[in-house]
Each structure stands twice: as C-alpha cells, then as structure tokens.
Structure 1
Amino acid sequence: MRRVLFSACALAALALGGAAQAETIAVTNARILTAGPAGEIATGTIVFKDGKITAVGANVPTPAGAKVIDAHGGVVAPGFFATGSLLGAVEVGSLGNDLSVNNPAIGASFDIQYGLNPESGLFPVARLGGLTSAVVLPLPVGGRGGEDSDEEDDNASKYTAGPGGEGSKSHALFAGTGAVIDLAGHEALVTKAKVAMVAPFGQSGARVAGGSRGAEFVALKEALADVRDFMKNKAAYDRAAYRDLALSRGDLEALIPVVEGKMPLVAVVHRASDIRQVLAFAREEHIKVILEGAQEGWVVAAEIAKAGVPVLLNPFDDRPESYEELAATMDNAGRLSAAGVTVAFESTGGSARARETRYEAGSAVSHGMAYDAAVAAITINPAKIFGVADRTGSLEPGKDADLVIWTGDPFEPLSQPTAVFIHGQAQPMTSRQIELRDRYKDLGRALPPGYTHP
C-alpha cells in the first residue's frame, strides 16, 4: 500500500491524465456524511475506482495498491447541488442569458440543455464551494421572485396568453424544460435532460394570462386539454384536418410527458393561497408538481406533505418583499421539513454566488432545521426530485464518486474544501479569481508588458 500525503501536489497528480481514473483511491480517517441509509459515519473510509464508489463504512479495509488520502479527521460529503441554478446559462447577467425565450412557437419546447456552456468560468468558483452538480431551470416570465417591478410588468404584458391585439401567446404559460448537469467542465456535462417543465403561478402567472390568477388556471387547463386532444388526433393534426390549437406542435409534444405524469411541473409560486390552488390543480389534472419559491409554504406545510409534493426554496428568503411573501420567515425550511415535506435548497444569487449554497444550509440549521435534513436538502433530495438519485446525491457503493473533502463541518464558513472529485476525477482547486489574486498580490514584482508604459 502506498501512502500519499494529503496535499495539493498529490491531488494535482490525481487530476492528470486518464490513468488516475482507473486508479483505486481510498480516503481514510474521515467523518463521512453519506446522505444515504448509512447516515453519518464518525470515522470511516470511502473507496472509489473508475469513477464509482466501491465501498464506504467505518471498517472498510484499504485495498492493496490503492492511493490513500488521509483526511486527518476532516469531513467527506457528497458533492452539493446548486438547485434552480443559472450555472452554465449565465456568465454575466447584464450581458444576457440562455434561460428564457420570446418566440410564439417555443414555450414548453424550450430546452435549456442546448445553451449550456461547459467552459463557464463560474464552474471552478462553484466547485470551490463544494458544488459538483447543478439543476438548471429556465426562467419563467416575471422571474422567480415575488411581485416584480413596473418595467417587468410591462415586459410580461408582451407574453399575455389571452386574446389580444396580437392573438394568443399561450406559449408563455410554460418556460421550458431544465436539466441536471455536473460541474466538471467537459462537453458531456448533462447528467439528465428534460427533468422538469417550469411554469409561473401567482402574480407572475396572472400577468401571463392577462392579469388574473383565475385566468391563468383556465388557460392552463385549456392548454393541457389541447395536449390530450393532440395525443389522440396526431394524424388529423398533421393533415391540417383538426381544429386549431393554441400551442405550437413543438410545445404540444413537449407537454405530453407532463400530462402523462412522467415529467413534473415546477410551479413557481409564493403565497399560501396560491400554493393551495396549485395543489388542487395538480390533483384535478393528474400531474406531478414541484413547488419552487414557496416563501409562505410553512403556512400550508401539512397540505404540501399530504400531497407528497417536494419544495425548492431559498432559506434566506425571510423578508416580505412583496404582498405574495408577507409570511416569509427564516424557519420556513425547518417547518416544512418537520412536517414531512421533501425540501431542496435553491442556489443563492444565480450563478456567481452559487458557492454560498452551504451557507444557506447552515442558516437553515441555525433556524431549527435538523442537521441531516439540511445535508439532504443540498445532496440526495435534489437528486431524488429530479431523477438522478441512482447516480449521485449520496455516498453509496455503485454511485458516481462525486464527493468533497472538507477541513471541517461544511456548513461552517471557515471550513474549506481540500479536494473535489467528480466522477472520481480530482478537480483543480483554483479559479480565475484565485489566479488573478496570486498574479497581482506581489506588487513589488514586474508587471506584464501590457501594464507598463513605454
């Protein structure tokens, strides 16, 4: 057995070439947060090879010839998820994004996967916050917050789904489908595409439908009825021998998995009364839903739990920033979790601040959420909600070796990752920001030629 010092040099060597992928690696002397049935292991070993975990436990022997990384009592946790993230679709928000579309023929059929950039400079920053996966979701009209500005109101009116001077624009009822990606920065970054359809509800949904919440539900029911009719009469539709349908053929096709109950609908909703309406709508239409936002979710926690509906939320959404969020509170996550709701934390600040996801989890714990529930909210829960739990989200044999070694509790701001593995490959522990820091921290040395005057 060869012992390797737990150092940046050793980890850099692991990252070089394909040979490291085939090598057996054992991380020993670690407190392991499995996020799986084994729970927390006070002191244990995790072994992985060829990108997959082969063993994890308190008494796991180190395989002969394995490269050993001594965690020195640090924490090993699954790689975290940036859920509801903009990673890969937004570099600088003011310069545009690949998260939304204004095209009468493309609404539900908009697919986020095709615009993702595997070379995003924000991936390394996110990895240094312990993130190895992201759930990237399209932005619906009105965004994901509560009530919006007057400027956004004017913009939303362009998407009105009801009759108007420019006719029906029912495509705006649906924002498109999201994807789960890994953050290793390679071309094959999509773990699973078409994981969910996104739609705005509450005030934003009302704007799309012409100004009324009631109008949106009428428009949604008509749209789903059109999808069901389309499924039964595709041949007639293709011959132009069927009645006109509000949605394009692409949108109708994209919504078939939703009406069949195979693809969940992410309902962006905030107010408790709106949440109740969404739950009732899902029951009546026999579709699966995921609540996103849910700042007043704790008010109807028992109803959400009874319906078996998961919730995506940001624990920092604690202020009544609109009339849709008057009951927002820092203990929303804890109350929902205690009621039996499956909770996943959404990424703070879009893409540039996704690395702060672990701070959200720590804050939720400080406001009453159980520690293991907070761990689950950024690991196994998003993996389950979006259908990739068979591959990642917890440290179990057979799953991808997506894991992070920390100096201490990952929810403590002073703890830092010392190694990040995605599919068993060690990731560079640097980013452009760190490289720029190192380049210019010594002001006494000569500057590059571009910084000197002739």
Structure 2
Amino acid sequence: MNRVLTLAASAIALCAAPAAAQDFVITNATVVTGDGSEPIASGVVVVDDGRVVYTGPQAGAGAFDTATVYDVGGAWVTPGLVATVTNLGLSDVSAVSESNDIRPGSSPFNAALDVAPAINPSSQHILVHRAAGITRAATVTAPARSIFGGQGAIIDLGADGQPVTRARAFQMVAFGESGARLAGGSRVATYAAFANALYEAQAVAAGRWDAESAMLTRADAEALVPVVKGEQSLYMAVERAADIRSVLALKQSFPRLDLVLVGVSEGWLVAREIAAAGVPVIADGLDDLPGAFEELAATQSNIGRMAKAGVKVAINASAMENPRNLNQYAGNLVSLTRIPGADGLTWGQAFAAISSVPAEISGLKGRAGVLAPGAMGDVVVWDGDPLEVGSVPTRVFIDGVEQPLDSHQSRLRDRYRDLDESDLPKAYDW
C-alpha cells in the first residue's frame, strides 16, 4: 500500500513539474525586437535554454545547434506583451465575491496587502490573456478603504503553476478624485494621509514606532518602509495636470521615492515637467471623453505628445475593458499619426509601449518585452501584423516553453461553432 501511495505521489509530482525550456530557432520571420526599432524582414530568433541568444538577419545567425526549427513563412514574431497595471489572476467571476480577490473592502490592512499568495494561475483570465500574446503582467489589488492598494507582483502567464516572477514589486496608491474619496472627501485629506503614512514608515525604519499615536497598523507602516527608502516603486494613480504637478513635488519632501504615474489623462499639459523629473508613465490608451472633472483635458493625442516631450510612456492595461486589447490600442496610436493635428506613435514606439517600456517600468529591463540576447524566451508568433485588430497569436512561448492557447472561451467556441441549426445546446435537452 505504501508503495502504491509513493508511486502515486511521484506521478503527481511529475505532472506538477514545470516543463523543460526548449531550444529552438524561428526562421523566415518578420521579427520585432520590441525596443522601438522597426521590424526585421527575413529575420531569425534563436532561443537556448529558455533565453534568447540571437535576434537578427539570417546571415548573422550561424549554424543552428538544435533539432527544432520553425520556418514561419514570413509571419510576424515578437516578444511577449507586458500588461501593466492589471488584476490578472485575482478573480474568476467578478460578480461572485468568493472568487474575487480584487478589492479587499473590509480588510483592516492596506499597504501591507501582498497580492502574490492570492494569484490563481488557473484563472481563465490568465489563460485568455496568454492566448492573446501577453506573457508578463503587473497585478495588484485595488485601493478599497485607504488610498493605499497594497503590494503588487510581477507575474508570468505560463501554464506551469508558478506565476510570480517578483513579489512585492511595487506599492499602489490612489490620488486625484478616487484618492480624495478614500481619504475623507478632499484632495487636502489625501496629501495629509499620504505624508503621515510615509512619516510613520520612516519612524518604523528608525526604531521610533509609537503604536498609541500611529494611524497606520504596524504591518502597513512596515510595508511602506521600502517605499520611503526607494527600494520599492510607488505607482500613483493621478489624472489632472494640477495633481500631477503636486505629486511630482512630493519628491522634495521624500527624495528617495521611485515614482511611476498611472492614468495621467492630462499628462500632455505637463509633459515637459514629467520628462524633466524622469518619472515614467503608465498612461490610459485613448482617453478623449472626460469621465470625470479631473479628465476635462483628455485627448487621444496624450500619449503621443508625452512621448514627443521625452516621457517614458507605457500603455495602461487597467484602463481598458480587457487588457488583451493592448495591441489594438497601440495600433490606434499608430493610426493617429495620419490624422492632421493629432499626435500618435510610430509603429516601433507603439509596440514598445506594450512590451519593452512596461517591462522596464516593472523592473525587467532587458529581460522581458524584448528579443535581445539574454532576455527571457518569451516569444509570440502572429498570423498578421500584431498591431492590426484582427491578428492573433498562433504560438506563444514563455521562458522558452511553448504554451497551450486554449481556455474556457475557446472550448465553448469549438463546442458550438459547427452545430447544425436544428441542434440545441445540451443544457436544453430536458
């Protein structure tokens, strides 16, 4: 009996073990490196032991020391897309509270919330977005009872059951109108709450914690220590130009803050100031209808104008109905360059805004979002131009391992797509 149990346990362990990275070469491809440059015609990508070792023209690739060669017949090949900011892996059915970990509205903690243990790699949202070419993402809970939303994680969307690339990678905080609501009904209260939280974090770091006078829990104050030390990025959700200026000014009081601006609908009005501060932006894709007073100056040219001013800009996945639309939004920014008076992005810039730029903001510079020597083997083969709305991936590799592209959605499609009109779904048989 013990032997049977041992064999069963061994079988389970083997099934759970991550697949080994593949050594492969993709030839005859239209290669996109992801660094902002234009595509390479008749290019080659070589992946060895899960890492990219060569990307470029066929002539420079040399001999292929591998048995696995994919001739893709001119198809587009890109690095995996990087989605930031998202809640991927935190819910199955958002309307079912038991399966939804996005907004911890009754928790006594805020900054101390660590999203990493709650991420479900089997979530259908992860499967669907993997099939859309997204291989890495930043995921975090939403601010609920405080301006602080908690500590986000960088994840991969692989099928190996080990999603977390980097836990506690950044802290999320809400400013502007949403922050004002959470802090007590006014922007004045937001800034006071924020400053007090960082002062309490500094007190903890210096060994001067006073539990009786503190407004934060000790766990929350301790979670903010890496923020005040500049060891953890601070993602600040802000929209209005005046609020952006005020947030940038916070570095005068807290010079070590590693700021990242999120949302930034009116960023174009203060683009030179953002660029001068060297603060990167994760901007909403194509805002042009003010959904709030803080977005009255929203324009589809926002990202293009900030990029023109020298701001490092990634496209914000959380502002979309679905992060898998990242490539569609990037393609629309390319189309804006053809409209008189509008400002968009070149093709290379637009693709970088959903690949290498969000990867760099996420602390993965040179490791994700690019096809360059030493980068993770996150490779996507497309059936057309990846910035065209109808294009879809035909192959996705993460860390050099080819991934399944099926999901609950695709299985439902396949189940019912070819039914005769006289057939009814099985649920109606009774």
TM-score range, shorter chain: 0.7 to 0.9
Cα distance, 1:125–1:369 mapped onto 2, change above 3 Å:
same
Matched residues, percent identical?
40
Cα distance, 1:120–1:412 mapped onto 2, change above 3 Å:
same
Cα distance in 2 between the residues matched to 1:242 and 1:319: 46
Cα distance in 1 between the residues matched to 2:198 and 2:18: 51
Match of 1:233 in 2: 207
Match of 2:274 in 1: 304
- The alignment partner of 1:324 has SS state of helix
Match of 2:410 in 1: 434
Q: Tell me if structure 2 keeps the 8 A contact 1:28–1:68.
A: yes
Cα distance in 1 between the residues matched to 2:21 and 2:288: 47
Match of 1:132 in 2: 135
Structure 1 residue 416, shift from structure 2 partner: 2.3
Q: Tell me if structure 1 keeps the 8 A contact 2:111–2:151.
A: yes
2:421 aligned with 1:452: no
Q: Tell me if structure 2 keeps the 8 A contact 1:314–1:360.
A: no
**In the comparison of the two structures, how many residue pairs are matched?**
403
Cα distance in 2 between the residues matched to 1:103 and 1:20: 39
Cα distance, 1:360–1:19 mapped onto 2, change above 3 Å:
closer
Match of 1:319 in 2: 289
2:377 aligned with 1:404: no
Match of 1:75 in 2: 76
Cα distance in 2 between the residues matched to 1:179 and 1:406: 28
Structure 1 alignment gaps of length 5 or more:
1-15, 142-158, 160-171
Cα distance in 2 between the residues matched to 1:375 and 1:448: 41
Match of 1:376 in 2: 352
Give 1:31-430 correspondences, 5 Å limit.
Answer: 31-36=30-35, 40-58=39-57, 59-96=60-97, 97-103=100-106, 105-141=108-144, 159=145, 172-233=146-207, 237=209, 244-286=213-255, 287-347=257-317, 353-367=322-336, 368-430=344-406
- The alignment partner of 1:132 has SS state of strand
2:85 alignment partner AA: G
Cα distance in 1 between the residues matched to 2:364 and 2:45: 21
- The alignment partner of 2:260 has SS state of strand
1:338 alignment partner AA: K
Deviations 1:242-262 (A, max 9, x none): 652111111111000100011
1:85 alignment partner AA: T
Output the TM-score relative to the length of structure 1: 0.83
Cα distance, 1:38–1:63 mapped onto 2, change above 3 Å:
farther
Output the TM-score relative to the length of structure 2: 0.87
Structure 1 residue 188, shift from structure 2 partner: 1.2
Q: Tell me if structure 1 keeps the 8 A contact 2:19–2:160.
A: no
Cα distance, 1:219–1:22 mapped onto 2, change above 3 Å:
closer
Structure 1 residue 41, shift from structure 2 partner: 2.2
Cα distance in 1 between the residues matched to 2:314 and 2:18: 36
Cα distance, 1:431–1:77 mapped onto 2, change above 3 Å:
same
Q: Tell me if structure 1 keeps the 8 A contact 2:153–2:164.
A: yes
Q: Tell me if structure 2 keeps the 8 A contact 1:199–1:266.
A: yes
Cα distance in 1 between the residues matched to 2:354 and 2:261: 16
Q: Tell me if structure 1 keeps the 8 A contact 2:37–2:348.
A: no
- The alignment partner of 2:412 has SS state of helix
CA RMSD of aligned residues (A): 2.4
Structure 1 residue 103, shift from structure 2 partner: 4.8
1:174 alignment partner AA: F
Deviations 1:181-231 (A, max 9, x none): 111133210011111111111112222222221222122212211111221
Cα distance in 1 between the residues matched to 2:303 and 2:330: 9
Moved over 6 A (4+): 16-20, 445-449
Cα distance, 1:64–1:325 mapped onto 2, change above 3 Å:
same
Cα distance, 1:438–1:219 mapped onto 2, change above 3 Å:
closer
- The alignment partner of 2:295 has SS state of coil
Structure 1 residue 36, shift from structure 2 partner: 3.4
Cα distance in 1 between the residues matched to 2:424 and 2:180: 56
Q: Tell me if structure 2 keeps the 8 A contact 1:331–1:369.
A: no
Cα distance in 2 between the residues matched to 1:17 and 1:111: 25
Deviations 1:157-203 (A, max 9, x none): xx4xxxxxxxxxxxx13110111111113321001111111111111
Q: Tell me if structure 1 keeps the 8 A contact 2:159–2:404.
A: no
Cα distance in 2 between the residues matched to 1:319 and 1:271: 14
Cα distance in 1 between the residues matched to 2:414 and 2:102: 34
Cα distance in 1 between the residues matched to 2:281 and 2:259: 9
Cα distance in 2 between the residues matched to 1:307 and 1:117: 37
Cα distance, 1:65–1:395 mapped onto 2, change above 3 Å:
closer
- The alignment partner of 2:154 has SS state of strand
Match of 1:156 in 2: none
- The alignment partner of 1:28 has SS state of strand
- The alignment partner of 2:95 has SS state of helix
Structure 1 residue 113, shift from structure 2 partner: 1.1
Structure 1 residue 390, shift from structure 2 partner: 4.4
Structure 1 residue 298, shift from structure 2 partner: 0.5
